[in-house]
Amino acid sequence: MIPIRDDQPTFITPFVNYFIIGLNAVVFLFEQSIQAQDPRAYLALMHEFGAVPKHITHAFGPGVHFSLPAAFLPILTSMFLHSGWLHIIGNMWFLWIFGDNVEDYLGHFGYLVFYLVCGFAAAITHILLNPGSTLPMVGASGAISGVMGAYLLLYPRAKVQTWVFFIFFWWLPAWLFLVYWFVLQLLSGAQTAGQTGPETGGVAVWAHVGGFLAGLILVKIFPQRATRQRYASW
């Protein structure tokens, strides 16, 4: 199922959501230029700025000089890297549909912090379940999963126009679409449970699960934007 649009209105311009989408697009075009010029430099870029679980877990190992930036900076930068056109288009499309309403609820700064914290929670989930993987994790999907989790809690009765089986366009309740998506991630993750080794975690479905759960929890901890609270009190 592919979401087309939702019917939940917003009352502020989602500048931060636009900024995140634009930044991801600019970084991706830069990646593409590097890949076209030197494929080896592109692979080095992905391993340097993607979140490689084995590199990060090694930073916490005994006898290793721990460096907080070295351990956590790749998690931040990995949120803005993508592996291909379908990867970035799919992620940015979901963010476009669901992110504006969450920003409307949290406000600009709160939404930015929320987005990044969900991204970190998603990455940590992936790393804990694939500690020996040498594959770099890249993509905004973990953070976007957090946005989707927040949307589920905030707007369960909203309607999402959905392209189903590439034939039908149905308006589905947001809770149904998002729960269905989350169950798919759980089932995909269950298929990889117990797998270990350097090549595990090729698709970071557990990052999706971790990000989604983080969004469900954090959206009730983060305060609403102040003006929204005043309007609600009227």
Q: In whole angstroms, what is the distance from residue 180 CA to residue 194 CA?
A: 24
Pair 148, 94: CB distance under 8 Å: yes
* 175 φ/ψ angles, rounded to the nearest 5 degrees: -60, -35
- Helices 15-37 and 39-49 meet at what angle, rounded to 10? 140
Query: Going from the N-terminus, what domains does the chain have, and what CATH number goes with each?
Result: 2-233 (1.20.1540.10)
CB-based burial label for 112 (10 Å; 0-12, 13-18, 19+): middle
- Token pair 């005043």 is at which residue? 230
Q: In whole angstroms, what is the distance from residue 151 CA to residue 101 CA?
A: 7
What are the pLDDT tens digits along the chain (234 aa)? 899 999 999 999 999 999 999 999 999 999 999 999 999 999 999 999 999 998 888 767 665 555 667 778 999 999 999 999 999 999 999 999 999 999 999 999 999 999 999 999 999 999 999 888 889 999 999 999 999 999 999 999 999 999 987 777 889 999 999 999 999 999 988 877 655 544 444 578 999 999 999 999 999 999 998 776 554 434
**Helix and strand totals (H; E) in the chain:** 10, 3
Q: Name which of 197, 12, 217 is nearest 121 in CA terms.
A: 217
